[in-house]
Structure 1
Amino acid sequence: MNSFKLAVVAALFGGAAFAADPGVTDTEIKIGDVNIMTGAASFIGRAVSIGSKIAAAEINEAGGVNGREITIITEDDGYVPARSFQALTKLIEVDEIFALNGTSGTANVLAMMALIEENNLPTIVSTAPNELVYDPVRPSVFTLGASYSDAFYAQLKYIHENDEPENAVYGLIRQDDDFGVAVEHGYDRAIEELGLEDGGRIAFKKGSSNFAAEMVEMRSEGVNVLANGGIIAGAANILSEARKLGMDLRAAQVWSEDMPLSVNLAAEAGYDYYVADYVALVGEANDAFMEKAAHYVSDEELEAINRYTYVTYAALHAMAEAMRGCGQDLSRACTIENLRAMEDFDVGGIMAPLSFNNEYQLSGTALAVYQLDAETKTFTMVEDFADY
């Protein structure tokens, strides 16, 4: 057989690594992570990266994905959409990743979407479950988590049915962006379906820190149930202004407000506010996860764990399960098909079992409602996981 024929045979019948999609060798699978590693929101990005680290270490310790170890490659976007696009370009063209498991914020993942679709990149969006991400659905994109809309509806429904003050008047304050619009959708739904009295809505510029005028307006309208669409310092400042005005409030908050940093800021106002989240903040599953995490990360990293750690951990385990189903002939197309068929995949109880076999390729939508004890800075689950 001449050398030309040998070359043809080699091309046709070569090893799996030769024919594989980018990011796969006989011993390794490269998973990309575009993340917020610098800037004011870097504590979120760090928590995300810790989730990937724990999951990858656990998977690799158990033999990897059919013998291949997972390697996580992280690029910092500083929470800037233009940098997200640049970061993913580098991960695809230079690092040659196989899939993407960290996607930063809503605007950031939308900025990357053209690259994701062009490369048919298996992607699990675990930190920005906004409707804009999964509607319209993109074939290779899977979204993990409930919508902000459902989260606010769940809280307001709970307050209405279990903790509504006398002469209840509801009000909304939210950012003037896509996130704020999603919050308002949940508020609208609650007002309409539950027949609540709407005392008014206020949109504020993202990054605002002074809410004195807005809360004076809320008080003048008699608002005593507030849908607080601020985030972290913004949410805390809104509650602080309400306290200065002597407002007796039931407050529904974004799930970012169950993180230790947020709680430390907001609890000073003294409100036992609510959050709805699609991860387990308390209970046996939470305790078991923290015990497991201690085997794989440093004490400093253990302190940095928050809700975003759980969702990224769950997402990487789902990705690994989909890849595992491809056997040795791992490909992006096979991984996407396996994710699309995934039903009731258990992630250790840190959130409801995952099923992406629906029209939006969306899972983890079940929400639990928690209430903060502002004095002890701890949460109690008041409503178990349910879909809304």
Structure 2
Amino acid sequence: MLVIGILLAGAANAAAAGNADIVRDLASRVGPVVGSALACRDIARPRIQTIVDKFAAVIREASSSEVERADLNQHLDRSVANGRNAVTSGQIDCKLADRQLADLERSIAAPSLSATIGPSSAVAATSTAPVTANPPQRGITDREIRFGIAAPFSGAAKELGRQMKLGIDTAFNRVNDSGGVEGRMLRLVAADDGYEPTRTAEAMKQLYEKDQVFAIVGNVGTPTAVVAIPYALERRMLFFGAFTGANVLRRDPPDRYVFNYRASYVQETDAVVRYLVKIRKLQPKQIAVFAQQDSYGDAGFAGVAKAFRALGANDGAILRLNYTRNTVDVEDAVNQLKAQKTPIKAVVMVSTYRAAARFIEKTRDLYPQMIYTNVSFVGSTALAEELKLLGARYANGVIVTQVVPAVSGYSSIVLEYKNALAKYFPGEAPDYVSLEGFIAANVLIQAIKRAGPQFDTEKLIDILESTRNLDLGLGTSLSFGRAEHQASHKVWGTALDETGKFQPIELE
């Protein structure tokens, strides 16, 4: 037990040995102690968790691949189960289980193996390096956890970045007012990339090197994510809750360090195409796509095409009307629509709020009965404001699919959000983008709370992957897993009325 404890106290020693067999043997010895303790209700869970966390670190550092790591974790789980069975079957009692755990705790606290029992060949094979404290984790101090967000805080899409940051700050302020998490305040540092991928690398570098953030949360945009994600992955930095539904963040199997709160663009566009065909009784050939000419527009267009195929329609003939990112130059798209011989009765818009408003302005009088739908990234409140300036007929009936509940509703999470927003940012109106930031931040906060006082990126990811049926009051539960890094798959429908306010609509 003493040898095991010393090895756990210095996780690097097992890794330095480069031998997974040693760790597997340790798992056979530590697992039954943990399992028997877990079977005893009177043994405090934090004591057991300390041992589990130590051994998790050993496995991480000793594993040469994800496959090997999974194998070692499975071996540990089996050994833990054996320990539980030993208590439930009466082979050992809880007094013995408590003594074994106490022996392990004392041995972990020992300063070094040689100081305790002197040198031995068995120890030399596995413990040649001195036991050292865990190195400080980037972005985490005794008083603070620093997060970063790279988003547009200037340019045509700046309202999206401002609102996303506002929602995250609202959630952070709320938990900080209650003493933070384990006494640590949560802080968000922002870097402006202007929604231009050519600026994203520098923004990410600033957050990582200068601001020394622990993780990235709430980044805005698909074309910028194409740059930001590889940067985060190369540094094994958590990339959480980005404001985009693109597939670049949804690999199969998922990238270990990338987690999403929201439903994907494929799910949003699938929901709205089915609504147009099933509820509004349109033919697929009567539906066109107005899309940003980049990876964001591509992602939305691919979702529409997939929905067409699922309905048995030809996706090769979909009319795509393009515009250039960070502009409101929609003339080519309008002219293309005018030249179309097949009557178009609905346009699925994969754009930002100003371009969407300009397109509606240029086409509303030409096509008075046109149905306009938008994905959530458009920026719902900003779009409504743009359209209200044009007049009631431009706003009325415009649809936006949402990945959060209606901000006008009374679900628990919406009420918490609106109360916190009014408290910390008086004068700010509730908004779908900031609500998404608030929810995503709360999912992350729950995981940090579960991680306990001592954690790093790898442990937090393990915690996230074990999140099941988290109920934040949205009306849908949130879950992650090793093969599932998207918490929500829910899509809500909303439509603007003549006053420019969003009303819920049923998509099915």
| Offset, 1:232 | 1.6
Aligned match of 1:149: 266
The reply to whether residue 262 of structure 1 matches residue 383 of structure 2 is: yes
Aligned match of 2:72: none
Range moving further from structure 2, 69-78 or 195-204: 195-204
When you count helix as a share of all residues, which structure comes out higher?
Answer: 2
Quote the Cα distance in structure 1 between the aligned partners of 2:188 and 2:283. 52
Alignment of 1:1-388 (within 5 A): 12=131, 19-136=135-252, 137-164=254-281, 169-195=286-312, 200-206=318-324, 207=327, 208-210=329-331, 211-218=333-340, 220-257=341-378, 259-266=380-387, 268=391, 269=394, 271-281=396-406, 282-285=408-411, 286-299=414-427, 302-303=428-429, 305-349=430-474, 352-357=476-481, 359-373=483-497, 375-383=498-506
Deviations 1:273-311 (A, max 9, x none): 222111112310334421231111132xx13x5222112
Instruction: Give the gaps of 5 or more residues in structure 1.
Output: none
Aligned partner of 2:501: which letter? T
Q: Does the 8 Å CA contact 1:144/1:364 hold for their aligned counterparts?
A: yes
Relative to 1, partners in 2 of residues 1:176 and 1:38: Cα closer, same or farther, differing over 3 Å? closer
Deviations 1:179-205 (A, max 9, x none): 222222222233333356887412423
Relative to 1, partners in 2 of residues 1:186 and 1:292: Cα closer, same or farther, differing over 3 Å? same
Larger radius of gyration: 2
Range moving further from structure 2, 159-168 or 268-277: 159-168
Quote the Cα distance in structure 1 between the aligned partners of 2:312 and 2:183. 56
Structure 1 counterpart SS, 2:493: strand
| Offset, 1:64 | 1.3
| Offset, 1:87 | 1.9
Relative to 1, partners in 2 of residues 1:124 and 1:49: Cα closer, same or farther, differing over 3 Å? same
Give the length in aligned residue pairs.
370
The percent identity for this pair of structures is 21
Quote the Cα distance in structure 2 between the aligned partners of 1:294 and 1:182. 35
Aligned partner of 1:379: which letter? F
Range moving further from structure 2, 104-113 or 54-63: 104-113
Relative to 1, partners in 2 of residues 1:257 and 1:164: Cα closer, same or farther, differing over 3 Å? farther
Relative to 1, partners in 2 of residues 1:376 and 1:358: Cα closer, same or farther, differing over 3 Å? farther
Normalising by structure 1, report the TM-score. 0.86
Relative to 1, partners in 2 of residues 1:170 and 1:108: Cα closer, same or farther, differing over 3 Å? closer
Q: Does the 8 Å CA contact 1:152/1:252 hold for their aligned counterparts?
A: no
Range moving further from structure 2, 187-196 or 269-278: 187-196
Range moving further from structure 2, 268-277 or 71-80: 268-277
Quote the Cα distance in structure 1 between the aligned partners of 2:185 and 2:410. 29
Quote the Cα distance in structure 2 between the aligned partners of 1:142 and 1:296. 27
Relative to 1, partners in 2 of residues 1:113 and 1:169: Cα closer, same or farther, differing over 3 Å? closer
Quote the Cα distance in structure 2 between the aligned partners of 1:258 and 1:287. 21
Q: Does the 8 Å CA contact 2:351/2:378 hold for their aligned counterparts?
A: no
When you count strand as a share of all residues, which structure comes out higher?
Answer: 1
| Offset, 1:258 | 5.8
Aligned partner of 1:170: which letter? I
Structure 1 counterpart SS, 2:386: helix
Structure 1 counterpart SS, 2:452: coil
Quote the Cα distance in structure 2 between the aligned partners of 1:90 and 1:312. 22
Quote the Cα distance in structure 2 between the aligned partners of 1:245 and 1:333. 55
Aligned match of 2:21: none
Q: Does the 8 Å CA contact 2:400/2:495 hold for their aligned counterparts?
A: yes
Quote the Cα distance in structure 2 between the aligned partners of 1:58 and 1:216. 51
Backbone CA RMSD of aligned residues: 2.8
Structure 1 counterpart SS, 2:373: strand
Aligned partner of 1:55: which letter? A
Structure 2 counterpart SS, 1:357: coil
Instruction: Give the gaps of 5 or more residues in structure 2.
Output: 1-110, 116-129
